[in-house]
Chains A and B, each alone.
Chain A
């Protein structure tokens, strides 16, 4: 069964600290993996998109890594800010006959405290 599992479910860190969020997937065949940020009461916003051949990608203080062999991805947030408090969603797409299938993880809820 194709799945996307994220850990931890929630995380509390102090402002200025770093953190790493994990995403493990069993989706096959793999097409791409995306990380989204979702602020409370808003729609998800894309942070990074990675294909099979990419193993790291940065967007400001956000750095995503991908290990397609172990089917794991991580999102590292550097020097966290209060505005980083949000849910972070891992999304994996799989190319199938007739089109693509996209599976969303349940997300990691990050709380950044002053």
Chain B
């Protein structure tokens, strides 16, 4: 099993450009998450999904959109990139919300720079 994979690994955008980050998992997990990680801060939840066709806002959703058309894929979109969105983006999945004893499985990350 590949686990959680993310595409692309690196990307540089100009302010105002758009892009989509792709996350794929082969563990048949229901829950998927998008986080951003900034220096000196903990990971912050952007959006999450509790199953195919569902999405919900996390802690820092502004400027991002998501879609979960297939159970194994979770897409994160930036419609008009801003320098404040320069960050490392991590996708994760879990069998359920992970509120009790399950863990989240993370992808390798996408490093995005917006100039």
Contact = CB atoms under 8 A, between A and B. Distances in A.
Interface of A: 4, 31-32, 34, 41-46, 49, 51, 89, 91, 93, 95, 99-100, 102-107
A95 B99 CA distance: 7
B2 interface: no
B42 A43 contact: no
A106 B99 contact: no
Interface of B: 4, 35, 40-45, 90, 92, 97-109
Given A102-B45, A104-B43, A105-B42, A43 B99 contact: no
Given A104-B42, A106-B40, A99 B97 contact: yes
Given A43-B90, A43-B92, A46-B104, 11 more contacts: A41-B108, A43-B4, A43-B107, A44-B90, A44-B106, A49-B102, A89-B43, A93-B98, A104-B43, A106-B41, A106-B42
A91 B100 CA distance: 13
14 contacts: A31-B100, A32-B101, A34-B103, A43-B92, A45-B106, A46-B104, A46-B105, A49-B102, A49-B103, A51-B100, A89-B43, A91-B42, A100-B98, A102-B45
A77 to B, nearest CB: 19
A102 B98 contact: yes
Nearest to B33: A102
Contacts of A105: 42
B106 A43 contact: yes
